[in-house]
């Protein structure tokens, strides 16, 4: 998807920034879920994951319709 919208001469830099963002987001999300799991319970962590997924899916509806 990234390579479709980026000029050829900066494609490597854009891939680097993209994967830096994905990795950082993954790290932060795992830390947050670990905090929820340790502080409260596994049900709170799973509930947060389900809630976040539903919100993102609702926000993506206008993009794909």
Domain count, the chain: 1
- Structure tokens, 35: 């905090």
Residue 64 has pLDDT above 90, yes or no: no
28 is in which domain, residue-wise? 2-64
pLDDT of residue 17: 95
Cα separations in angstroms, 34 against 23, 26, 37, 39: 16, 12, 5, 8
**Contact (Cβ atoms closer than 8 angstroms) between residue 34 and residue 42:** no
Place of tokens 């000029």: 7
Q: What is the pLDDT of residues 6-63, one digit of tens each?
A: 898 999 999 999 999 999 999 999 999 999 999 999 999 999 999 999 999 999 999 8
pLDDT of residue 56: 94
Phi and psi at residue 8, to the nearest 5°: -60, -35
**Contact partners, residue 60, CB within 8 Å, separation at least 6:** none
pLDDT of residue 65: 77
């Amino acid at each position: 998807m990234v390579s479709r919208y980026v000029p050829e001469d900066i494609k490597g830099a854009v891939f680097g920034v993209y994967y830096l963002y994905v990795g950082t987001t993954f790290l932060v999300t795992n830390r947050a879920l670990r905090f929820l799991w340790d502080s409260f319970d596994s049900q709170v962590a799973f509930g947060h994951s389900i809630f976040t997924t539903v919100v993102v899916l609702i926000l993506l509806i206008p993009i794909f319709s």
